[in-house]
Amino acid sequence: MSTASRLTVLNLMPNNKEVLYEFAQFLVFGAENYPRAIEVLQQDLTLLGSNFSADPYFLLGRAYYMSGEYDAALRIYHQILDNKTSLSKEQISRA
């Protein structure tokens, strides 16, 4: 999917957690636009509220790490570990 298509979908569904997460994945792994990915993931996590989901946190940690914000990345990874009771074994091994 092109960047323009992704932005169109995001504009049509700006509060859709799955759309935000997919766009953030593109920003981290495709576009390498880490500051924008951090913004999108923070919005995604706000929408998740108290429903912990490790995947956006892992991606946010990676975005912080890749942008050189190591302390912020470490804080995110600690948040993941603090919620380890809701993680699979595979997710725990990634943290």
Give the confidence band of 39 by pLDDT, cuts at 50, 70, 90. Answer: very high
For the segment 16-33, the average pLDDT, to the nearest whole number, is 94
pLDDT(50) > 70:
yes
For the segment 35-45, the average pLDDT, to the nearest whole number, is 95
Full DSSP string of the chain: --HHHHHHHHHH-TT-HHHHHHHHHIIIIIS--HHHHHHHHHHHHHHHTT---HHHHHHHHHHHHHTT-HHHHHHHHHHHHHTGGGS-HHHHHH-
pLDDT at 23: 94
pLDDT(95) > 60:
no
Tens of pLDDT, residues 62-72: 999 999 999 99
